[in-house]
Amino acid sequence: MLDGMIIPKAGKLTPKQLAEVERIAGEFDCSILEIVGQNRCIYAILGDEGRELMFNRLRGLDYLAKVDLIESPYKSMDRQSALA
């Protein structure tokens, strides 16, 4: 389940930065999926919804430009959807 997207300030996270983001996500039983693009990487947060504390902690990291929660109505395969 995709819960959020992380956009780093640089083109991609360093291994140390990625490890910190993964550690924070892991504390909330979530994982991080790196999506590699031609010019930059974005990072998907995979896991259960309702992790506001996790999002706040990630938003506090100075090397992240944006951390967005993907709200349920915008998910194509939401658990509550008749398609799921």
Q: Which two tokens stand for residue 12?
A: 């991609």
Helical H segments across the chain, by residue range: 15-27, 52-59
Q: What is the per-residue pLDDT for 74?
A: 47
Sheet holding 2-8, edge to edge: 31-36, 41-46, 2-8, 64-69
Task: Walk me through the domains of the chain, giving residue ranges and CATH numbers.
Answer: 2-72 (3.30.70.1140)
Prediction pTM value = 0.80
Q: What is the per-residue pLDDT for 1?
A: 59
Q: What is the per-residue pLDDT for 48?
A: 72
Residues recorded for the chain: 84
Task: Report the pLDDT averaged over residues 34-39.
Answer: 95
Q: Which of 19-23, 36-40, 51-55, 80-84 has the lowest mean pLDDT?
A: 80-84
Q: Is residue 29 scored above 80 in pLDDT?
A: yes
HSE (side-chain half, CA atoms, 13 Å) at 43: 25
Report the mean per-residue pLDDT for the chain. 85
Number of H helices, E strands in the chain: 2, 4
Q: What is the per-residue pLDDT for 79?
A: 53
